Amino acid sequence: MSRSKFERVPIAEQDPKVRATNFDEVCLGYTEEEAIEEAKRCIQCKHHPCIGGCPVDIDIPRFIHHIAEGEFEEAAHVLAEYTALPAVCGRVCPQEDQCEVVCVRGIRGDAVAIGKLERFAADWARANNIELGQTKEKNGFKVAVIGSGPAGITCAGELAKEGYDVTIFEALHEPGGVLVYGIPEFRLPTDEVVKHEIGNLEKLGVKIETNVVVGKTITIDELLNDEGFHAIFIGSGAGLPIFMGIPGENLNGVFSANEYLTRNNLMKAFRDDYDTPIKAGDKVAVIGGGNVAMDAARTALRLGAETWIVYRRTEKELPARVEEVHHAKTEGIKFEFLTSPVEILGDEDGWVRAIRCQRMELGEPDESGRRRPIPIEGSEFEFDVDTVIMALGTSPNPLIPSTTEGLDVNEWQCVIADDEGQTSKEGVFAGGDVVTGSATVILAMGAGKKAAAGIDKYIKEKYGEKSHA
């Protein structure tokens, strides 16, 4: 039976019961035939609103047109003009709120599956060893990029293509930022996808120095004054976890989501051939309702725990992507809505044994526009769990601003930068989560791209087109 043109071509996924017991990727991607069929749903609109919905301005109709014609290599080359991370974004970008929300096809029926098609083209190029990206002649200017997450990778890639000599300094032993330490394998395979896209960056000539904590190993002022860098981009993210400040948070068995996920993803605690310790837990409560909470809960489930998401508002207000909530539910995660912990209770050995919670109701909207949760008096109850994971958000680490002369931050420790990424300090630019606070991969990439243009303009205005050093 042929499908209506209003319906999206469905994509294959691992069965929920099977995938709840493994760390393999959930979504299996389109086949060539399926990708062509879905690409043909794009009507190549003259005004292409989809492009305006993409923070890195990908020429969406052009790459989709190539897929529709079976020209997969050409589609991958179009993507490479605009993005260093197409296979990543095709998987984790909140496309339903970005390019797809404005797709004309979505007015009557399903929007074109832009993200899934982007993933298809990037995966096809990887599987077929297609070389992507070209650089201009070297201009002799040196730029240091701090942090190798999506903001840093994008800024570095854009500058390398323009001929700059770019070095990324990364605190951890692996590059990739949240893409490798935060987002789990079952959503974004590290070795197959992230490492490959970082390899493409290195092919553009970008150098990556890991295990360098800027602010400790070396400072920004030293990079500028002693190491000969003409400009700096800070893309150090927002990795400092926020806790609730309730009694019992210091008990054994309480994790920040960042620590729990880092142990699993970066340090591979889930694999028998690694000896990274993790307390998997039998009954795990994850506090929070964003993507990070879903990732932590689905990881705990795969490690064998009965798992709950505890969230103080209702399902309607969950900040996580709809797709992630759906996957969590079908895999067997349970939800306690309108519930907030007030204390974590321990046993005589100092391990978590339960959380004391109270029920909430929704009042008037707060400054975020969402209805404010209000505790219901006398509604407290105990909930037996042996592990608690706090997924309440993160803020930028104050290390870099506190060791850099003249770098201004706001009250949340976010570096202050304008639209081109220029900070209060000459020659120092910033973008991504370190500026906005915890946001998304594609917004960090958009900021990295704008900052690269800002750095290019700054250096050329100050030093000319080429370095004479």
List contacts with ligand SF4 (CB under 6 A).
42-45, 48-50, 54, 56, 58, 60-61, 83, 89, 93, 95, 98-99, 103-105, 112, 114-115, 118, 442
177 binds ligand FAD (CB under 6 A): yes
* The residue type at 229: F
Asked if 252 contacts 388 with a C-beta cutoff of 8 angstroms, the reply is no
Q: What x/- string results for residues 191 through 230 when contact with ligand FAD is judged by CB under 6 A?
A: ---------------------xxxx---------------
DSSP 107: G
Q: Indicate which of ligand SF4, ligand FAD, none lies near residue 219 (CB less than 5 to 8 Å, by partner kind).
A: none
Task: Choose between 78 and 296: whose C-beta lies nearer to ligand FAD.
Answer: 296
Q: Indicate which of ligand SF4, ligand FAD, none lies near residue 66 (CB less than 5 to 8 Å, by partner kind).
A: none
Cα–Cα distance between 234 and 423 in angstroms, integer? 10
26 binds ligand FAD (CB under 6 A): no
Length of the chain counted residue by residue:
469
Asked if 189 contacts 92 with a C-beta cutoff of 8 angstroms, the reply is no
183 binds ligand FAD (CB under 6 A): yes
Return the closest-CA partner of residue 310 out of 384, 363, 415: 384
The per-residue DSSP string of 283-349 comes to EEEEE--SHHHHHHHHHHHHTT-EEEEE-SS-GGG--S-HHHHHHHHHHT-EEE-SEEEEEEEE-TT
Task: Choose between 169 and 458: whose C-beta lies nearer to ligand FAD.
Answer: 169
Contacts of 69-78 with CB under 8 Å at 24 or more apart are: 70/32, 70/36, 72/32, 72/35, 72/120, 72/121, 72/124, 72/125, 72/128, 73/124, 73/125, 73/128, 73/130, 75/121, 75/124, 76/121, 76/122, 76/124, 76/125, 76/130, 76/132, 77/132
Q: Indicate which of ligand FAD, ligand SF4, none lies near residue 309 (CB less than 5 to 8 Å, by partner kind).
A: none
Q: Indicate which of ligand SF4, ligand FAD, none lies near residue 439 (CB less than 5 to 8 Å, by partner kind).
A: ligand FAD
DSSP 424: S
CB 37, min distance to ligand SF4, A: 14
Please name the residue ranges forming H helices in 83-167. Answer: 86-92, 114-127, 150-161
Find the helix packing angle between 114-127 and 32-39, rounded to 10°. 140
Stated as kind and residue range, the H or E segment containing 258 is helix 257-265
Please name the residue ranges forming H helices in 128-194. Answer: 150-161, 178-181
Cβ within 8 Å of residue 162, ≥6 positions away: 135, 136, 139, 452, 456
Residue span binding ligand FAD (CB under 6 A) among the ranges 36-44, 75-83, 120-128, 235-243? 235-243
Candidate residues 130, 439, 460, 467; the one interacting with ligand FAD per rule CB under 6 A: 439
433 binds ligand FAD (CB under 6 A): yes
Candidate residues 34, 165, 185, 295; the one interacting with ligand FAD per rule CB under 6 A: 295
Residue span binding ligand FAD (CB under 6 A) among the ranges 92-100, 280-288, 308-316, 340-348? 92-100
Q: Indicate which of ligand FAD, ligand SF4, none lies near residue 285 (CB less than 5 to 8 Å, by partner kind).
A: none
**φ and ψ at residue 447, rounded to 5 degrees:** -65, -40
DSSP 101: G
Contacts of 410-417 with CB under 8 Å at 24 or more apart are: 412/437, 413/240, 414/238, 415/234, 417/451
CB 25, min distance to ligand SF4, A: 17
401 binds ligand FAD (CB under 6 A): no
Cα–Cα distance between 325 and 291 in angstroms, integer? 8
Q: Indicate which of ligand SF4, ligand FAD, none lies near residue 147 (CB less than 5 to 8 Å, by partner kind).
A: ligand FAD
CB 291, min distance to ligand FAD, A: 4
CB 211, min distance to ligand FAD, A: 9
Candidate residues 151, 285, 352, 451; the one interacting with ligand FAD per rule CB under 6 A: 151
* The residue type at 257: A
Task: Choose between 145 and 354: whose C-beta lies nearer to ligand FAD.
Answer: 145
Q: Indicate which of ligand FAD, ligand SF4, none lies near residue 244 (CB less than 5 to 8 Å, by partner kind).
A: none
Task: Choose between 125 and 223: whose C-beta lies nearer to ligand SF4.
Answer: 125
Query: Which residue's structure tokens are 């958000």?
Result: 393
Task: Choose between 77 and 425: whose C-beta lies nearer to ligand FAD.
Answer: 425
Binding residues among 413-432 for ligand FAD as defined by CB under 6 A: 432
Interface residues with ligand FAD (CB under 6 A) are: 92-94, 146-152, 169-172, 177-178, 182-183, 212-215, 235-237, 239, 261, 291-292, 295, 397, 399-400, 432-434, 438-442, 444
